[in-house]
Structure 1
Amino acid sequence: MVVGVLAPWSALGLNTKLREVFRWKQLDYEFPTEEARQAAIQSGNFIQEHNLPLGIEVWNDKVFITVPRWRPGVPSSLNWVPINGEESPKLRPYPDWKFNEVQGNGTQKVVNTFRVRADVCDRLWVIDCGLVDILGQAKPIWSTKLLVFDLKSDTLIRSYTLKESDTRPKSFFANVVVDVTPDDCENAHAYLPDLGSNALVVYSWAENDSWRVKHHYFHFDPLFGDFNIGGVNFQWTDGIFGVALSPVLADGYRKLYFHPLSSINEFVVSTKIVKNKTIASDSYHAYKLLGNRGADSQATASFLDESSGVVFYTQVNKNAVGCWNSYAFPDNYSPLTNAIVAADNETMVFPNDLKVDRNSNLWVLTDRLPTFMYKRLDTKDVNFRVLMAPVQEAIKGTVCEAPKFYRYQF
C-alpha cells in the first residue's frame, strides 16, 4: 500500500435507498465500569481514535462489528451491538472481555479479526490474522487461526491454526466465507482469501484440514491498483478478496464467484474444484472469467442473496454499492448488467463490508478507511455508519430487478 497525493472528490452522489441504522463519530465500548474505562485509557489499552469498525454480520438480534487492531489501543476486536440499539451504541466484546484481551498467555482469545460469517447452523466463523499494530510494528501474537463459536451458547467450539503450507511470508487473511447447508452442518467448508499472497485457503470442518489453492486469477491487476477515495489517492496491490456463493446446484456444488480487490474483473469456479485438494490448483481452465464491472469498480466484499440471485458488492472508488443478478444474467457480466444500488460521497465513503441477512435485508458498513490510514479522521464528524435496506427495495429500478421469467433455474 502506497499513499499518494490528495485527489479531488467526484460529483456528489445521493443515497436514497439505504437507511442509516447506526452512526459513530468515534467508537466506544461498554466497559464493566467507568473506572475500568478510565484505567484502559490511562494504560493505553484504549486509544479511542485508533478504533475503526470494518466487518459486519447480522444474526438474530445481534449485529457483529469487528474492529481490527491497526494500531495500539483497541481493547476488543470482535464485538456486537443490539439490532434495535441506540443510534451510536457502545460495542460489547464477543463473547466477553476476557476473550478479547491480547495480554496474557491464554490460548482462547481473539487477537485481530477483520470479517466474520454467521452460518445457517448458528455458528460464527472468525478468521484471526494473529497480528497487532499492523500499521506500526506488526507484532505477531500467533499464527492465523480460524475460530468457530456456537452462537446459541456463545462458546468456542473449534480453533484451527492454518498449516505452514497454507501461508506465505506476505499472507494476509481478511475475509471468511462459509459453504454449508442447514441439513448437513458437519459437511461445512470455509473459504479464506489470501489477499497478500494471491491464494485461496479451503478448510474442511469434517476433515479438520485445510489446503492452499493457487491460480492466476487470484492476483491483482496492475492496471487497477490506483484508488481515489475521500480526497486521498493511494495504491493497493490486494489480490483475491471478495467471494460469493451461489445456491447449491443440481450437481450438489455451488458456483464460487470471486475477484481481487485491485481489479474490475469477476471470476467463477465450481466449488467441486476447490473442495478437491488434489485438483484444486491443477485445473486451470475450470476457472472462468465472467467479465468486468467497468471503470473504477474495484470492490472489497461481495454477497449473494439466494432469494433474488443478486450479488451485492462494494464500490469503494465510487462510495457506492453495486449489484448483478446471477439468475437473470448467468453468462452476461458487464457494465450493462451491473448497476449501482446506492451512492453517497458523504455517508458512504469507503463501503468496507456488506452482508444479506436471513430476512433478505442488505446491510452495509462504511468507515472512511483511507482517511484513517493515511490522514486523520475528524472526530467531530460522523465517520462510521451502518446502513440497511430490504433487498427488493435496494434493487428496485435497476437492471438487478430482473423479471422472474428471466431468472435462471438451477
Structure 2
Amino acid sequence: MISNQIQILLSTLILLIVECTGEELKLVYQWTQLDAPAKEPDKSQVVFDPKDKPHQFNETFNAYGNLPMGIAHHKGRLFVSIPRRRPGIPSTLAVINMHAVQGVNNPPLVGYPEQLVNTLHCNEAYAYIPDYQWPGLYVYSLAENRMWRFNHNYFCFEPQNGRFNVAGIRFDWNDGIFSLAVGQVDSTTGHRMVYLHAMAAVGEIAVSNAVLKNETLARSGDEYSDLFIHLGSRGPNTHSSSHAFDEKTGVLFYAEVNRNSIGCWNSKRRFDADNHGIVHLDNSDMIYPADLVIDTEGVLWVISNKLPIWIYSKLNVTDFNYRIWRQTTKSAINGTLCM
C-alpha cells in the first residue's frame, strides 16, 4: 500500500516537472513611465524627454498618458505603439534600436520618422481589421485597393464571460472581436486558417482565408455564416487580448489578461481546455499582457502595461509598470502541453 502511494506521488511529481520545464519569457526592457531622458547624440528625434514640454499639437507632454499598447520586432528594431488616448502624446509609433541601447531600465524611445514611406510590392496582400466596438471584420485588398466587411454573431462578446479581474480590480467589458492570427498553409488547398476571438470571451473561432478574401461572398448577406467555425472554449479566465500563430511549431500563443499569463495550444491537437497549456505566468510583473507577436525568426514578444490599473485606479509611477518580454517559441513550449 505504501509502495503504491509512493509510486503515485512520484508519478505526480514527474508530471508537474514535465509541465513546468518550458523556459519562461525573458525580460527585455521595463519602464516606470515613458519619459526617461534620452542620452543619444541626436536628440532631435527623441520622443520621450521630460525636458521638452511643447509639442506639435501645442499640448503639454503627458508622461502618465503615454501608455504603450502594441509591439513588433524586425531585425534588431523594436517598434512600440502608444495610442492617443489622452492629450500630450507626441508620437503614436516609436522604435528602439536594440543594438544601440544598453541595459533594461527605461530605454529611450525614438519617434518613427513620419517622412519614411514603406513601399509594398505585393501581388496579393490582405489586411484583416477587427472592429471590437461594432463587432465586425474588415478585409482590405492592397492590390485592388478595396475593403469589405463580414458580420457574424461569433464576433460579439460572450455575456457570461464579460467579467474581468486583473490585479484585484474587477470590471465588466463587452469588447467584441479583438484579435486575429493567421495559421499555416494547407498543403492541399493552399489556403490558411484564420483564428479569431472576442476580447470578452473564452471561445475561439476559425475561418479559411479563402472566405475572407471573397468580396462577393462578404456582400452576399448571411450566406457565409456556416463557414465560420466555433472551435470551442480555451477554459475559464482565458480572456485574451492578442494571439499569434507560430508556423515553425504549429502552436497558437495567447496573451491572457485575466491570468497574467501566456497560454498556448498545439493546432495538431483537438481544441479544448484540456489541451491548452501555459508557457509563462507572473502575477507580479506581467500584469495585463496587452500584445503578443512572433517575429520572422521565431521569437515570441510580449508587452504588459497594467492597463486596468491605469484606467480604473492609479499607477505608482515609481514602480516599473510597462515591460517587454521575449523567448523563442520552441523554448517556450518545451515541456508543456503544447509540445
Q: TM-score per shorter chain, which class?
A: 0.7 to 0.9
Q: 2:226 aligns with which of 273, 276, 285?
A: 285
Q: What SS does structure 2 have at the residue aligned with 1:371?
A: helix
Q: Which runs of 5+ in 2 are unaligned?
A: 1-19
User: TM-score, normalised on structure 1?
Assistant: 0.70
Q: Distance between the aligned counterparts of 2:50 and 2:330, measured in 1?
A: 46
In the TM superposition, what are the counterparts of 1:47-62 in structure 2 within 5 Å?
47-62=62-77
Q: What SS does structure 2 have at the residue aligned with 1:339?
A: strand
Q: Distance between the aligned counterparts of 1:308 and 1:371, measured in 2?
A: 35
Q: Distance between the aligned counterparts of 1:274 and 1:379, measured in 2?
A: 44
Residue 209 of structure 2 corresponds to residue 271 of structure 1: yes
Q: 1:21 aligns with which of 25, 28, 33?
A: 28
Q: Distance between the aligned counterparts of 1:311 and 1:95, measured in 2?
A: 33
Q: Distance between the aligned counterparts of 2:138 and 2:261, measured in 1?
A: 29
User: Is the contact made by 2:23 and 2:331 (CA closer than 8 Å) also made in structure 1?
Assistant: no
User: Is the contact made by 2:169 and 2:309 (CA closer than 8 Å) also made in structure 1?
Assistant: yes
Superposed displacement of residue 36, structure 1: 6.8
User: Is the contact made by 1:45 and 1:75 (CA closer than 8 Å) also made in structure 2?
Assistant: no
User: For 1:172-203, what per-residue CA distance to the aligned partner results, in whole angstroms no more than 9, with x for missing partners?
Assistant: xxxxxxxxxxxx82200000000011100000
In the TM superposition, what are the counterparts of 1:192-231 in structure 2 within 5 Å?
192-231=129-168
Q: In angstroms, what is the RMSD of aligned CA positions?
A: 2.2
Residue 265 of structure 2 corresponds to residue 258 of structure 1: no
Residue 338 of structure 2 corresponds to residue 320 of structure 1: no
In structure 2, do the counterparts of structure 1 residues 37 and 257 end up closer, same or farther at CA, with 3 Å as the change threshold? same
Give the AA of the match of 1:92. Answer: V
Task: Tell me the residue number matched to 1:398.
Answer: 336
Q: Distance between the aligned counterparts of 1:186 and 1:205, measured in 2?
A: 8
Q: What SS does structure 1 have at the residue aligned with 2:301?
A: strand
Give the AA of the match of 1:64. Answer: F
Superposed displacement of residue 16, structure 1: 6.2
Aligned pairs, number: 304
Q: 1:356 aligns with which of 294, 308, 313?
A: 294
Q: Which runs of 5+ in 1 are unaligned?
A: 1-12, 100-153, 159-183, 402-410
Give the AA of the match of 1:91. Answer: L
Residue 90 of structure 2 corresponds to residue 75 of structure 1: yes
Which structure has the larger Rg over C-alpha atoms? 2
Give the AA of the match of 1:238. Answer: D
Superposed displacement of residue 35, structure 1: 9.3
Q: What SS does structure 1 have at the residue aligned with 2:216?
A: coil
Q: Distance between the aligned counterparts of 1:72 and 1:18, measured in 2?
A: 33
